Copies of this chain bind each other. A is one copy, B any other.
Amino acid sequence: MQEQAQVQANMVNGVDVDKLFGTIDAVKAAPVVATFRFRANNKWLGGGHNRTTITNFYGTQQEHERKEPFTLDADEPPVLLGEDNGPNPVEYALTALAACVTTSIVYHAAARGVTIHAMESRLEGDIDLQGFLGLRDDVPRGYKQIRMFVKIDADAPPEKLAEIVKLGPTYSPVFDTFTRPVPVSVELDR
């Protein structure tokens, strides 16, 4: 993942595959390079409105800081007692999943030399708010089920396309975070 002078980058799907394989070799030589810590800060703005700021993360044994922080507002729509100042939290969850499965397909296809020309997807997730409202403990608070449908145009015969799409759920960190029980602690910061 070091910067390196290159006469000509070997790009597949907009991914520099020489750098990708360089990264893989670096991780194989020193697995600690692959240890990342991502971070977010949130500030409540009133009602269902709050703002997350993303600035820095740790990885490849060093801190990385963006020039400008990314700012993401969340709110609820009026029917959920908010003012629609941004997508709501469970819509952000779908966004994370869509982005992650897409990028996982693109990177892993690039590593296999498969060129993708275009990709789009649509997602839907079902929630029964009886869970959030605390009316029924046998109803999950979160998504009961999520479905993602991927349209892909790639240099591959039609019967291979489902295999390429499958790279997403196979390697995506967010897909894994949703489908596996992840330990999450929430504590008072005194």
A174: B residues at CB distance < 8 A: 89-90, 92-93, 142
Whether B100 pairs with A23 at a CB distance below 8 angstroms is: no
Query: Known contacts A52-B95, A135-B27, A173-B127; is A46 also within 8 Å of B103 by CB?
Result: no
A88 to B37, CA, bound (A): 13
Q: Choose among B60, B165, B180 the residue that contacts A186 (Cβ–Cβ < 8 A).
A: B165
Chain A's interface: helix, strand, loop or mixed, by majority?
Answer: mixed
Q: What number of copies of this chain does the assembly contain?
A: 2
Q: Choose among B76, B97, B103, B181 the residue that contacts A76 (Cβ–Cβ < 8 A).
A: B103
- Count residues of A near B (Cβ-Cβ below 8 Å): 123
Which of A42, A49, A144, A180 neighbours the largest number of chain B CB atoms within 10 Å of its CB? A42
Whether B181 pairs with A148 at a CB distance below 8 angstroms is: no
Whether B188 pairs with A150 at a CB distance below 8 angstroms is: yes
